[in-house]
Amino acid sequence: MSSRSMRAGAIALAAVMMSSMVACSGPSASEKASASFHNSVSAARDALFEEAKVTNQGFFDLDESLGLAGGVTELPAEMDQYVMGNARGYVENLLQMVHRDHERTAPNTKAILIGPAVYDGPKMPALAEADARAEIVIERCIDARQSPQLNAQGNPIEGSDNVLHQILFLDHDKDGKLKIFETTSGKVDSCPLAA
């Protein structure tokens, strides 16, 4: 059972217990317990989103700096505080390819991070397992129109100056940190998130 399912079960059980308790104590106690319960759930959700924002920003900044440096032969240990699982593999493979092909992000440029926001779009059947495991799913855009990748000769790589819409699946790792473990992305004409 996923941690999300366990939490949902615990929340449902707490709701039943609270409704039983407040039924014995009258309407004013019921209103107080209900408000307290909903405030607790909302506060927990807000705290998780704040934690996801920190992970997202740290990952973006480190990934950008490694692109400017021309990729890597091996991911630095610092990256492990932001990614794990499949996401770690994707990032490592991409940055190794950049290094191997002598590519890099154009100097003195940086892509623009738009978002994140909690993803509430349609479910993706191919990522059903990731969705069930994730504690939170966020979406973001990376606008690289002013920050293209350059090839070994220093020329812009066609199509690298684009806008990507990404969906990131996050879960807490054994070390207690919220990390990205799965991602999906695609090029878009404009970011669906408000800037």
Please report whether residue 121 resides in a domain.
yes
Please report whether residue 24 resides in a domain.
no
Per-residue pLDDT tens digits for 109-157: 999 999 999 999 999 989 999 999 999 999 999 999 999 999 999 999 9
Please report whether residue 4 resides in a domain.
no
- For residues 142 and 113, the answer to whether their CB atoms sit within 8 Å is yes
Please report whether residue 193 resides in a domain.
no
Cα–Cα distance between 112 and 68 in angstroms, integer? 14
The amino acid occupying position 89 is G
Please report whether residue 59 resides in a domain.
yes
Which residue range(s) make up the domain with 79? 51-188
Per-residue pLDDT tens digits for 84-118: 999 999 999 999 999 999 999 999 999 999 999 99
Domain count, the chain: 1
3: pLDDT confidence band, cut at 50, 70 and 90?
Answer: very low
pTM greater than 0.85 (yes/no): no
Please report whether residue 159 resides in a domain.
yes
Q: What are the DSSP E strand ranges found in the chain? A: 104-105, 112-118, 136-143, 149-150, 163-172, 178-188
CATH of the domain at 116: 3.10.450
pLDDT at position 95, please? 97
pLDDT at position 194, please? 63
pLDDT at position 43, please? 81
Please report whether residue 63 resides in a domain.
yes
Per-residue pLDDT tens digits for 19-68: 444 444 445 555 555 555 556 668 888 999 999 999 999 999 999 999 99
Please report whether residue 5 resides in a domain.
no
Query: Cα angle vertex 99, ends 98, 103, to 5°?
Result: 55
pLDDT at position 28, please? 59
